Amino acid sequence: MADFLSIILAAGKGTRMKSEKIKILHKAAGKVIIKHVIYTLEDLSTKIINVVGYQKKEVELALNDFQDLDMNYVVQEKQLGTGHAVKQASEYITNHSGPVLILYGDTPLLRKETVAEFVEEHQKNKSDLTVMTAVFSNPVGYGRILKDDSGELTAIVEEKDADQDIKKIQEVNSGVYCVDSKLLGVFLKNMDNNNSQAEYYLTDLIEFAVERRKNINTFTVPDSEEIIGINTRRQLADAEKVLRKRIINKHFDNGVTIIDPENTYIDAEVIIARDTIIYPFCYLEGKTIIGENTVINPHCRLQNAEIASNVNILSNSIIRDSSVGENTNVGPFAYLRPGSKVADNCKIGDFVELKKTEVKSGAKVPHLCYAGDAEIGERTNIGAGTIFANYDGEKKHKTKIGKDVFIGSDSILIAPLKIGNNAKTAAGSVVTKDIEKNKTVMGVPARIYKK
């Protein structure tokens, strides 16, 4: 059985986002908000219960890639408060013996290390209930932490229910709790909604525990921005800045050179090896992986790209869902569309567009070319202005070019087509038929050249 039961509250719509998409599915640093929260649990032995409501299927789809985690879902049909949301997981709580960790799905700034330390403190103190808190100079919008003269937690008061004296308190509730499953189960059976919002507050758990003389503790996060929740587009933008700064610093620590951190945008799941240099105004997105000693020049966009070591990506190049091998040059102004694969020691030059094209070792496509649904063999050279005509108006077709082929400038290769090893096309040829190895063709349409 898992050591912990983790409950993530993610049922709200987030109307202040002014979006058809619920707030936890908006992205921060290239990853949907709730993924950041689940990431904090990856190193814990825990069963995860996502309390969802709106767009349940979309949430499940977004979290599909957490295959190694014990993920479960319950539905909160009506939004009747945080206590009511947790109650939807009652079956899991009843069947669990031990701590229950409760988090919100809209807090992407929470660190994995903070959650681990929080859980450790709860266990070390043998607490029945531990509340994560933070201190803000301007705590507007947060529930306030009430303590007695000895510093013991006595209650949490939501701002809507707080008087002026309570509103002056700067220590606030983060919404993150660690609570014994039996205590939580009894509370959920006895909670009420006697408050200004007529909602079932999870924060009433504190008074419930105090009345029963339970061992209650608080854990104050050293960095208060970690508990900030996302409710508006402005807050999302603020969180994005914080996350991107953390990401940049992580890559600095790993030996990556980033020339201008303020104008470089790297998503959370990007991996970069040491001694790579990233120039300004680059966007490294999704699950991009970059090897050692590679240079990404200004104004490049890499999206789910796999770039090997010792690669030079020149300015204004775009690479999407494609790979580039070692010692290869790409760009400037190159566009590698999804499904392209460039091998080692290749050259993809300026104003070259590849789509579902494999360029094998040592091949060159130096400039001004479109290649779609193609295979280009080892050491083959594609002349400037060459077009791979892969679409006949109804279907896409493939062009397969062998080794050591020379394609003359301004050639048009009309698929489906096979060109054998060591074949050649003269400049301006329109190739409509397969070419055997060692043959040269020229003309419109291209015919075999005989000396």
In order, the DSSP letters of 398-447 are -EEE-TT-EEPTT-EEESSEEE-TT-EE-TT-EE-S-B-TT-EEETTTTE
Report whether pLDDT(77) > 80. yes
Number of helices and strands in the chain (H, E): 9, 38
301 confidence band (pLDDT: 50, 70, 90): very high
Mean residue pLDDT of the chain comes to 95
Per-residue pLDDT at 45: 87
* Structural domain total, the chain: 2
The answer on 382 and 289 residing in a single domain is yes
**DSSP assigned state of 185:** H
Q: β-pairing, 399-401 with 364-376? A: parallel
Q: Which domain covers residue 384, as residue numbers?
A: 233-448
- 171 and 213 together in one domain: yes
**pLDDT value at 2 more than 80:** no
* 249 and 373 share one domain: yes
Shared domain check, 221 and 291: no
pLDDT tens sequence across 215-224: 999 999 999 9
220 and 291 part of one domain: no
Cα separation, 365 vs 405, in Å, equals 12
The model's confidence at residue 335, banded by pLDDT at 50, 70 and 90, is: very high
- Nearest CA to 142 out of 154, 159, 156 is that of 159
> Do 181 and 80 share a domain, yes or no?
yes
pLDDT at 1 (0 to 100): 43
Please indicate, yes or no, whether residues 159 and 286 belong to a single structural domain of this protein: no
Determine the pLDDT at residue 352.
98
Residues 325 and 385 occupy one common structural domain: yes
Which amino acid belongs to residue 247?
A: I
216 and 239 in a single domain? The answer is no
CATH of residue 43's domain is 3.90.550.10
Strand partners, 382: 407
Which pLDDT score, from 0 to 100, does residue 299 have? Answer: 98
| CA–CA gap between residue 380 and residue 417 (Å, rounded) | 16
192 and 279 in a single domain? The answer is no
Mean pLDDT, range 277-302, rounded to an integer: 98
pLDDT of residue 198: 84
Q: What is the pLDDT of residues 228-252, one digit of tens each?
A: 999 999 999 999 999 999 999 999 9
Tokens 């009843």, located at residue: 94
Q: At which of 209, 227, 245 does a domain end?
A: 227
pTM of the prediction? 0.91
Three-state DSSP at 376 gives: strand
- 161 pLDDT band (50/70/90 cuts)? confident
Give me the CATH number covering residue 344: 2.160.10.10
**What's the mean pLDDT in 200-204?**
91
326 touches 307 (CB < 8 A)? no
Active site residues: 367
117 φψ region: left (φ > 0), alpha (ψ -120 to 50), beta (else)? alpha
Task: Give yes or no for a cis peptide into 332 (omega within 30° of 0).
Answer: yes
Question: Which of 205, 227, 249 is the C-terminal boundary of a domain?
Answer: 227
Q: Are 168 and 276 contained in the same domain?
A: no
Question: DSSP letters of 50-66?
Answer: EEEBTBHHHHHHHTTT-
Mean pLDDT of 138-145: 90
Picking from 202, 227, 252, the residue at the C-terminal end of a domain is 227
Picking from 146-160, 201-215, 297-311, which range would have the lowest pLDDT averaged per residue? Answer: 146-160
- The mean per-residue pLDDT over the stretch 418-445 comes to 97
Q: 285 with 151, same domain?
A: no
| Other residues' Cβ atoms within 10 Å of the Cβ of residue 197 | 12
Burial of 24 (0-12, 13-18, 19+ CB in 10 A): buried
Q: Read off the pLDDT of each residue in 154-168 and give the average, rounded to a whole number.
A: 89
CB 251 within 8 A of CB 266: yes
Q: What span, in angstroms and rounded, lies between the C-alpha atoms of 305 and 320?
A: 6
